[in-house]
Structure formats: C-alpha cells, structure tokens
Amino acid sequence: MTHTPLPRRSAEEQQRVEAALRELFDQRIRFNEVLGLRTVSMDPQDYRMAFDMRPDLVGHYLYGRLHGGVIAAALDAAGGNAVMLGIADRHGDETAEQVMHRFARLGTIDMRIDYLRPGLGAHFVASAVVTKLGGRVAAVQMRLVNDSGLLIATGAAAYIVS
Amino acid sequence: MTHTPLPRRSAEEQQRVEAALRELFDQRIRFNEVLGLRTVSMDPQDYRMAFDMRPDLVGHYLYGRLHGGVIAAALDAAGGNAVMLGIADRHGDETAEQVMHRFARLGTIDMRIDYLRPGLGAHFVASAVVTKLGGRVAAVQMRLVNDSGLLIATGAAAYIVS
Amino acid sequence: MTHTPLPRRSAEEQQRVEAALRELFDQRIRFNEVLGLRTVSMDPQDYRMAFDMRPDLVGHYLYGRLHGGVIAAALDAAGGNAVMLGIADRHGDETAEQVMHRFARLGTIDMRIDYLRPGLGAHFVASAVVTKLGGRVAAVQMRLVNDSGLLIATGAAAYIVS
Amino acid sequence: MTHTPLPRRSAEEQQRVEAALRELFDQRIRFNEVLGLRTVSMDPQDYRMAFDMRPDLVGHYLYGRLHGGVIAAALDAAGGNAVMLGIADRHGDETAEQVMHRFARLGTIDMRIDYLRPGLGAHFVASAVVTKLGGRVAAVQMRLVNDSGLLIATGAAAYIVS
C-alpha cells in the first residue's frame, strides 16, 4: 500500500517487458494455444484475450456450445495475465527478466465460474479486472462475452503472488 | 425425497442406459476427447474419469504442469456425469431414450476449483460425489488425484436438473 | 428473454409491492435485524443495504474488524433481495400478494465471498447487481464498501427462482 | 513438505497451546459468541464446533430455518480454526505465545458455501478438514450437519497463513 517512488524503467525497457509478457501469454502456455487464446488488450485495467469458436471446443456435438472447461480455462488465463500485468506495473523499476521471474511464482489459488448463458457465438472475449493486488494474494473478476456482446459467464479467482 | 416404488427398467434396459451414458460421456463431448477423458468407473457414488498427461495439456512449457483450465474441465465433466448417473438411477423406470433426453436439460450453474498442488504426474483421475440431487438443483464435490494418489485439486459445482 | 407485454400493475399496486418487499427485507428476516441491515436503495439495478459497525459484529476483539460471517450474511441478503426485486419487475402484472408468494420459493444455491480488505469502518453498504434472471436460476454479483468507499469484499451467488 | 525433526513442545506447553486456542475460538471472537459457537472437538483432522438453533438465527420468521449468513459464518469459523490447529501442529516447537501470534496473520481469502438442504434442527455441528497446509496458503473443506445427521451445507475456503 505504501509506494516509495522508485525510478521507473525506461520506455525501451517497458516495451521489452510488454513484449515478453505478450509472448508469454500467447505463445508459452501450451494449452492456451490449444484453445486459440490471444491477447487483444494489454491494458492492466482491462486485460482481454480473444478466441474463435472451433468444433473441438464444444461440449455436446449436437448443441455447438462452448464446453464449460473451455470457458473456465479462458477466464483463468485472462485472470492470471491481468495479475501479471499488475505486478509488472507495481514493480516498475524491474527489468523484463526480473518481471518474468515473478511469473514463476504466480499461481491460481482457486476460481469460481458462473455459467450464465449458452456459449454460442463465432468468437469470444475474456476480460479481467484486478480487484486486489496485495503482497501475497491478488483477486480478479473475469467476464466472457460473445461477438454480440452477450455476457456468457463471469468468474472470480484468487492468485498467490510474490 | 419421496419415492413411490416404480417398476425398475429391466436388466437389459439398464445395460442400454449405461452403454448410452458411457458413449455420451466418452465420445459425444468433443472437448472431453481433446482432453483424452475416459470413464473408468460408472459407480454413481464414485464416478471416475481418467486421462493421461500430454504436452498440449500443460500450462507454461517449462514447468510441465497441467493447465488450470484442464483441471477445471476434467472436474466439470466428472461432476456433470455423476449427476447424470444419479438422474438415471432416480428415474429407474425410464428407457435409455428418456434418460438421454434429460441430459439435454442438464447444465452447470457454477463451479469452484481449489488448486492444491502442482498438476504433475503421468496420469490423473477425476472423481465426483453427488451431495444433493434435488428436483431442480444438484450439487457435487469433485477431486483430482495423480497416479501417486496425491490430491491435486478439489471442486464443488451446482447443476440445474429436471 | 421474450416478454409478451402484460398489463402492468397500477401505480398504487406497485407501491404496495415495494412496501411489502421493503418490510420483508428489513423486518421479517430475523438475522438481518441482528446485523442491523436496512434497505437504502430499492433500485433493481443497484439494490443496496446499509449497516453500522457494532462491537458484536467483529471477529477478534483486538482488531475490531467485521467478522467474515457478517460480511457473508450481508452480501447474501443483498443478493437475494436484488433477485426478488428483479422477480417483482418481471412479473409486473402480479399483485403484492402474488409477488410475496414467490419469495417463499427463492433460495440461495451457493455463494462465493472474496475478502479483499479488512472490514474496518463506521458503516458499510452492501450492493447487488443481477447478472442473470432465468426462469429457474438467477445469478448475482455483490460488493461491500465501507464509509470511505473502500472495497472490502465482493461476492457471487446463484439463486433458485420460480 | 520437508520437516526437519524439531524438538516438540512439552506436554505441559501443548496443553497451554490447546487451552489458548480453545479460549480464542470460543471466547475472543465476538460474533462467534453472538452465534453461540463452541468448540466440541480439537482434533486437527476433524475440528468441530456446535451451536443451537435460536429464534434470532433464522431467516424469514415464518420458516424457522437458519439464515444463510449464519451457516456461512459457522463454516468460516470452523475452517479458520482448523487451519490454526494445523499451524499449531506444524510449529510444534513453539510456545503458546508464539502460536497465538500466528493467528493475527491468518485471514480468509475467499469462501464458497453450498446450501444443500433447509437449515432445520435443534442444534448443528460445523466441521472442517484441512486439504492443504502450505507455507503461504491453506485450503479447507467444511460441512454443516443438523442433529439428525442431515447434511445441510458444505463449504470450501482458502486462508492466508504464515
């Protein structure tokens, strides 16, 4: 809660941090690639990932709705990434390497998903807002909307940070 | 809560119900196939699905742990299937066709996952126990263990039934 | 989702509905009175209850923070009441008596509370927004803030409706 | 997970630890007294608190069921106390004073409650089992039964420890 004003990293280093995080989010998490998740907003206050409907992401083949596990996976990914962006912002004096080390110590403690409406649509956006970024625990709220803007699911998760 | 003794379906029809449910669980849910989930126990009091570790199921490629979304998907699948087995048991006079129609009206309301330990192992078993099977809502508790018997995650979910 | 235009109840009957609901919320739920909860906004899109800090609402007597159970109780109350307001609005042709009958069939399925910051303050406001109002299940998100506007806790809950 | 064998506290000191914890659980948490919660088992593997039905613990006065917030409060209390017993056991070389200091750093991160059946009965028992006791986070599962042994509610919670 107390922030002594530290020297912020340079604009160049900030770009390195963001590039490293984006590569991490979109290319180093294997299962995220299976889902086709890709970052579409790096705003720490409104982090967003998008993905397209695909036949292998549905539950029962007759109904063509997203499997609940796909929704859970997308919201967990969006939530964890939003926390990482918050950590990178809080430790604004650290290099990209230092920030990336913090990722290794981030973990989901638990998560709740509310399935509000059938997961129908051509593509989907998972967004996340950090409601608490403490020294040990972070809390995030997530939302999944389809391409019509319909709210498909909401989520809440806690993450261990350091 | 009140069960008037209905004529149970014949042993032959019961086999048809179980075969239809097993086919549904293991072959008609597309994303379950992506995960490699397969039913290993049809006991309504202890429904179990197993799956093997595969490179595309991990989170960060360096750590080789199951992605949290894979764990959530496996526990949701096990929970929903345990409810379906309970429904098939409650409506013990119905044919396989009638039971399968009930599946279309089953949906996950919400789910919580507690991530207790890193998802490391060669294979995993997701099990589910129904704690309430009401006329409108069912509640289930789930567990994920690895091949050493280590408890990786627990879950709790509510399902709408009819 | 489909609303055939029903004759709305008269302004007089609407006042009776709101008075009956307010009395229900604030005076007929015994434990709400123990907590000192009182409705301060009847807006269905932003239902709010307020309560004051009192010594018997704290956890450990040394720290003077709200007990986690008080927070959970306040958020559950706010969430359920917001659903009732939504139901009264949806069934806009019904009399106060008919609306009140629906309350008897409302029940909390499950609830999650995230404890974000210590429950310190002179008074608190619990608010609730309905994210889904289906024919069988409703979902609500709740927030607790103190008199400085600090976000103390968030919640998510599912309710059975009819 | 790795425990170097530390000298255990003496039997006399262990009695002091247990007496201090029992006093803390039953007499220093103000709101627990409002609820009438009292410890009935100090077994770290099966911690239990009991309480009696009272008119001021009900929700709607017509139905005479426990308010959902009372259930949440009882399960949160039982869960947190079970974690404290686990911490006292893990730090088996510490004095009662040292153990009590750890309580000040314990906090509920989040909690889920599943309301399975109406909270009817003359008295109730809330029990808790620790499923994870890590260096930073603990996870607990809770149950509430009435005097007929009927399962009224289950819970899951995460706690920050140190």
User: Rounded mean pLDDT of B71-98?
Assistant: 96
pLDDT at C104: 87
Helix (H) or strand (E) holding D50: strand D47-52
Residue B3, pLDDT above cutoff 60: no
| CA closest to B162 among chain C residues | C136
Cα four-point dihedral sign B149, B109, D114, C79: positive
Residue C47, pLDDT above cutoff 60: yes
Contact status of C160 with chain A (Cβ, < 8 Å): no
What's the one-letter identity of residue B47?
A: Y
Contact status of D156 with chain B (Cβ, < 8 Å): yes
CA separation (Å) from B6 to B12, B14, B137, B161?
17, 14, 22, 20
**What is the tens place of the pLDDT at every residue in C89-109?**
999 999 999 999 999 889 999
Alpha helices in chain B (DSSP H): 11-23, 30-35, 68-90, 96-103
Q: Which chains touch B (3 or more CB pairs under 8 A)?
A: A, C, D
- Complete domains list, chain D, with CATH: 11-160 (3.10.129.10)
Q: Which residues of C touch D153 (CB under 8 A)?
A: none
pLDDT band at B4 (very low <50, low <70, confident <90, very high): low
What is the C-alpha to C-alpha distance for residues A112 and A134, in angstroms, rounded to an integer? 20
**What is the tens place of the pLDDT at every residue in B53-69?**
999 999 987 889 999 99
pTM value is 0.94
Q: Count other C-beta atoms under 10 Å from residue A30's C-beta.
A: 17
Bridge partner residues of D141 (DSSP): D129, D156
Across chain B, mean pLDDT equals 93
pLDDT at A2: 52
A132, A137, A159, A162: which to substitute to probe chain D, counting the most D Cβ within 10 Å? A137
Residue A56, pLDDT above cutoff 70: yes
Q: What is the mean pLDDT of each run of 10 residues along chain D (162 residues)?
A: 69 95 92 94 94 93 90 96 96 94 93 98 98 97 98 98 88
Q: Which chains touch D (3 or more CB pairs under 8 A)?
A: A, B, C
What is the C-alpha to C-alpha distance for residues C71 and A36, in angstroms, rounded to an integer? 39
Residue C5, pLDDT above cutoff 80: no
Contact status of C76 with chain D (Cβ, < 8 Å): yes
pLDDT at D99: 94
Q: What does D64-125 look like in DSSP terms, one character per residue?
A: -PBPHHHHHHHHHHHHHHHHHHHHHHHTTTS-HHHHHHHHTT-EEEEEEEEE-S---SSEEE
Residue contact C112–A156, C-beta within 8 A:
yes
Q: Which one of A24, A61, A108 has the shortest CB-CB distance to B68?
A: A108
What is the C-alpha to C-alpha distance for residues A92 and A137, in angstroms, rounded to an integer? 19
